[in-house]
Copies of this chain bind each other. A is one copy, B any other.
């Protein structure tokens, strides 16, 4: 039984059936899905979503059997003032509770997550005890050169009682030696998950494979899971997520209608249509899309548009493409191509 086909069918709690013949119709019960619709989507509009939308995403996650909903960032109110940024950039407890009430993970099957960025979070004062919060998990996002702070943040959040997760960003732009050093630093921390984060949407299949094997080897025997957070610049976010799942990743990020910065994320409606665990339901996500995200798409832009294709191919931050799409020549793709070819 190769690792590649290491999926399980568990109809009967006492009996596990394995198959390597048609693994695509089987599943691993330990695979967990995280919704990052609000957290990642808020990078487009400074997290100025109204409460009704956040509640609709929450309701859809509960109904769809999604395991985690990342409701926003736990970032600094000094760096991201409330006058300019919506509440999901800071995730005050009162804001979360206004939308989800006294959320009960056991009753709903859903845990809430927040993300804290290294160098952008007042984590020592803002991440308090879990017993006072409806949040279950803190994910720490960091660049390679911020790994020391990330280790402290993970330790702090763990001591406060949260599940923790280490998200090294923009991995396609980090050298292999630096990735190795980051993984060595993260391995001894209490982080339950280490996530492969393709911020630039640059990775092709063989690169996902190489990174998965590197991450899996680094955390082998530690009980840590490998996670995936893929961007859709090359229309590969879903494919790369499936690839990681085949290899053994048990934590995967997705967002409804792919909502997320730039090209967006792995679309939840594609992911749930692929996963065979009967606890996952597709229909609530479709309802969320037609009632809330189609109207939102009229006002805000995301998705694998040509300028994002190009920054993905060239392993660039999507920033230049986002600026181009906000400018007067947004559909002049050859001019954008000429510009970024000249710039690199």
Contacts and interface: CB of A to CB of B under 8 A. Distances in A.
Interface of A: 23-24, 204-207, 232, 234-240, 242-243, 246, 267, 269-270, 273-274, 282-283, 286-287, 289-290, 294, 304, 306, 309-310, 313, 331-334, 337-338
A111 B267 CA distance: 38
Nearest to A238: B235
A335 B117 CA distance: 40
Contact of A205 (B243, B290, B310): B243
Nearest to A307: B286
A269 B239 contact: no
Copies of this protein in the complex: 2
A270 B333 contact: no
Contact of A309 (B236, B270, B287): B270
Nearest to A207: B24
By secondary structure, the A interface counts as helix
A337 B205 contact: no
Contacts of A232: 235
A310 B269 CA distance: 9
Nearest to A272: B313
A208 to B, nearest CB: 10
B234 A236 contact: no
Nearest to A4: B206
A286 B239 contact: no
B206 A333 contact: no
B235 A267 contact: yes
Contact of A206 (B24, B234, B331): B24
A337 B283 contact: yes
Given A235-B235, A283-B337, A310 B273 contact: yes
Given A24-B207, A273-B310, A309-B269, A238 B236 contact: yes
Nearest 7 pairs of A and B residues by beta carbon: A239-B239, A273-B313, A286-B333, A290-B333, A235-B235, A286-B334, A24-B204
B239 A290 contact: no
A234 B309 contact: no
A267 to B, nearest CB: 7
A332 B235 contact: no
A239 B246 contact: no
A176 to B, nearest CB: 11
Contacts of A235: 232, 235, 237-239, 267, 270, 304
Contacts of A243: 205
A246 B206 contact: yes
